[in-house]
Amino acid sequence: MKSLINYYYNLYPENIQKMYGGYYFDVNNVNYLLTELKVPAKQTLDIYQELMNNRLSYFLIISNKDGSPVSIFEEKEYILYHLNCDYKETLKFGEQLYIPYPSDLNWGALWTERINYYEVQINELAQEKKLILDSVNYYIGLAENAIFIANKFYDGSESYIQHYRIGVPVKYADYFNPTNLVGDVYVRDIAEYIKSSFFSERREDSFYIEYLSSFNYSPVTANLLMARLLYPSYYFDIFDEIILNDKPENHLLPVLNMCYEFEELLAKIYLFLEQKYQIEHINWLKKRAIALR
């Protein structure tokens, strides 16, 4: 990354650290974050403009030597930001984003495409990885449940600025990073926060139910929340790191060891939502929920 930063921005940092979803460094007490784009550049730049329009200038784009906001290095696109905030500060509940933003995402189609991709990766690259082979069909099954619900309910309406992923605790440097933002249904952030929190800090189940009760849902968004919680992004993210970046396979163990506890949380959330909404029937989940009554 140093050569990219030197060449495009005439900056010469002594230390570069991989954090906050990118490459963090400082020069002359100015803090910078270089991020690789996850989506087409236009989408990130449009979302950045929405943040500016709403006076959320925590991340400021630094143009490169060519006057462009986007730099291309080894066939990948990057944006450099000046961090204009106390980026280590933890976000407060009332500071969450609720900015309308159009979305053309189709959860069912995207997830189906991902499952097809994972099945190819398993056959070609994971045959010697016992933990993956022993667990992946379970998580594909959860994804198929999520796809079933999404195909029935997802219509792309009520779309807001959301996050590709949310980690806990939620730091400014992650939450307001335009490269980590997408347009989607507002329950995306709710579900991803719960999954991230469950597998990293494991609070009591009552905490998550109370958190969910602070939002209003329509019959559609209640079902989409259930779909998003069922989709095991937490497992597939680690899968990608193992297959693509040679991450040790034992990084899956914390997730695998908590799978039945998470099933129980899903059942409790199902019961909570079912009290007010007609939630799509998933046989195993319904049985777990009935057992908890």
Distance between CA atoms of residues 16 and 23, nearest Å: 6
Residue with tokens 């929405």: 50
Q: Mean of the pLDDT values across residues 187-216?
A: 95
Residue 28 carries which DSSP code?
T
Given pLDDT bands bounded at 50, 70 and 90, which one contains residue 178?
Answer: very high
The pTM score is 0.92
Percent of the chain residues topping a pLDDT of 90: 80
Residue 76 carries which DSSP code?
E
pLDDT in tens, 265-278: 999 999 999 999 99
Q: Mean of the pLDDT values across residues 152-175?
A: 89
Given pLDDT bands bounded at 50, 70 and 90, which one contains residue 177?
Answer: very high
Q: Mean of the pLDDT values across residues 153-161?
A: 86
CB atoms within 10 A of CB 12: 10
For the cut 70, the answer to whether the pLDDT of residue 11 exceeds it is yes
Joined tokens for residue 151: 């195909």
For the cut 80, the answer to whether the pLDDT of residue 156 exceeds it is no
Residue 235's contacts (CB-CB under 8 Å, 6 or more residues apart) are 135, 139, 252, 255
Angle at 233 between CA 287 and CA 42, to 5 degrees: 140
Distance between CA atoms of residues 252 and 167, nearest Å: 17
What is the helix (H) or strand (E) element at residue 117, kind and residue range? Answer: helix 107-125
Contact 194, 229 (CB under 8 A): yes
For the cut 90, the answer to whether the pLDDT of residue 149 exceeds it is yes
Closest CA relative to residue 78, chosen from 63, 89, 56: 63
Domains of the chain by range and CATH?
Answer: 2-87 (3.30.200.20), 95-292 (3.90.1200)
Q: What is the reported pLDDT for 92?
A: 81
CB atoms within 10 A of CB 94: 5
Cα separation values, 189 from 170, 197, 219, 249, Å: 11, 12, 18, 27
Rg (Cα) of the chain, in Å, rounded? 20
Joined tokens for residue 49: 């403009």
For the cut 80, the answer to whether the pLDDT of residue 293 exceeds it is no
Given pLDDT bands bounded at 50, 70 and 90, which one contains residue 17?
Answer: very high
Q: What is the reported pLDDT for 93?
A: 67
Q: Mean of the pLDDT values across residues 195-215?
A: 95
Q: Mean of the pLDDT values across residues 235-241?
A: 95
Average pLDDT value over all residues in the chain:
93
Q: What is the reported pLDDT for 104?
A: 86
Phi, psi dihedrals of residue 168, rounded to the nearest 5°: -125, 145
Torsion angle of C-alpha atoms 194, 199, 201, 207, degrees rounded to 10: 40
30-36 and 22-27 as β-strands: parallel, antiparallel, unpaired?
A: antiparallel
Q: What is the reported pLDDT for 204?
A: 96
Percent of the chain residues topping a pLDDT of 70: 99
Q: What is the reported pLDDT for 145?
A: 97
Lowest average pLDDT, out of 179-183, 258-262, 269-273, 288-292, goes to 288-292
